[in-house]
Amino acid sequence: MNWERKVKTSFLIQQKNIDRLDEMVNQLNAKSRSTLLDAIIENAYRDFQE
């Protein structure tokens, strides 16, 4: 089973990166920033492990 856990967290992102993230969300038709960030983290972690 794939369990999802929502965790409230707070961190700072530079404004230019927020704008880029929003642009990516729109271009990729992602559900939300969180969904896209999850995918980015998963891909980066997989690359890190290789």
Output the pLDDT for position 1: 52
**pLDDT tens-digit series, residues 1-50:** 566 777 777 889 999 999 999 999 999 999 999 999 999 999 999 999 98
Instruction: Give the residue extent of every domain in the chain.
Output: 15-49
Output the pLDDT for position 5: 76
Output the pLDDT for position 28: 95
7, two tokens: 């965790």
Query: What is the rounded distance in angstroms from the CA atom of residue 46 to the CA atom of residue 24?
Result: 20
Query: What is the rounded distance in angstroms from the CA atom of residue 29 to the CA atom of residue 26?
Result: 5
Output the pLDDT for position 8: 78
Output the pLDDT for position 41: 94
Output the pLDDT for position 39: 94
